[in-house]
Amino acid sequence: MSDSSKFCIYFVLLALLGSFIFIRHASCDDSPQALIDKICRQMEEYAFCNNTFNQNLKSPNADITALTQITVEQTLNIATNTHTLITGLLEKATDPAVKNALTTCENAYHVVMDSFQHAATAFFEKDYNSMFQSEKSAPRAQASCTTIFNTPPNPPNPITDQNTHARILIAMAIVAGTDLTSGHS
């Protein structure tokens, strides 16, 4: 083998080793933003997810537990606010189709609130498995509020944005909860 061939092989091996070290280091990055990116890349609206985390970080050294806390608190907050909004809209509604849809949503957000109240209690007791189990009923309940507005007679949806944000926050909570309970971060 010529010296130039040995040099090429050496160079390729060195490049591969360098790439492996870089990739290995990048995949082990536990910085808050790396954890946020890991969660938010799985969401339908990365920007909403990223902003939610970054606006609510309590520490520059946040770990998966801190990020999970943000998701639980923010989901409970939006569920409570949306339930209150729905109750007010329901009192003013006159169209039977709108009333029916809002009643479905009122019930749905009651389930989401209840789920995340239990999840928050379990979280603060460090019972992360119970927290995660409590969150599991929320996606289907929240989805029923979206579906009812897409079902004939298709009443206008006055809570489209709240439904979207709640859906994303619930998904964020489940992804963060999955990472927390499985020990992955």
Domain of 9, in residue numbers: 1-29
Q: How confident is the model at residue 30 (pLDDT cuts 50, 70, 90)?
A: confident
In this structure, the answer to whether residues 81 and 14 fall within a common structural domain is no
pLDDT at 29 (0 to 100): 63
Count: domains in the chain: 2
Q: Is the domain of 7 the same as that of 43?
A: no
Q: Do residues 159 and 105 touch, judged by C-beta distance below 8 A?
A: yes
Residues 105, 35, single domain; the answer is: yes
* The predicted structure's pLDDT at residue 147: 97
Name the token pair of 120. 């928050």
Q: What percent of the chain has pLDDT over 70?
A: 83
* Mean pLDDT over the full length of the chain: 89
- pLDDT reading at 136 higher than 60: yes
Token pair in block for residue 107:
């019930």
For residue 180, give Cα distances in angstroms to 40, 72, 174, 176: 15, 12, 10, 6
Same domain membership, residue 103 and residue 173: yes
Who contacts 139 (Cβ-Cβ below 8 Å, separation ≥6)?
167, 170, 171, 174
Same structural domain for residues 13 and 44?
no
One domain for residues 76 and 90 = yes
Query: Are 15 and 67 in a shared domain?
Result: no
Specify whether 98 is located in the same domain as 117.
yes
* CATH, residue 158: 1.20.140.40
* pLDDT 10s digits, 46-88: 999 999 999 999 999 999 999 999 999 999 999 999 999 999 9
Flag whether pLDDT at 14 surpasses 60: no
Are 97 and 21 part of one and the same domain? no
Question: Average pLDDT for residues 114-125, to the nearest whole number?
Answer: 98
Q: In terms of domains, do 114 and 23 share one?
A: no
Instruction: Say if residue 8 is in the same domain as residue 41.
Output: no
Query: What is the predicted pLDDT for the residue at 183?
Result: 81
**pLDDT of 21 strictly over 60:** no
**Does residue 62 sit in the same domain as residue 152?**
yes
Greater model confidence, 26 or 45: 45
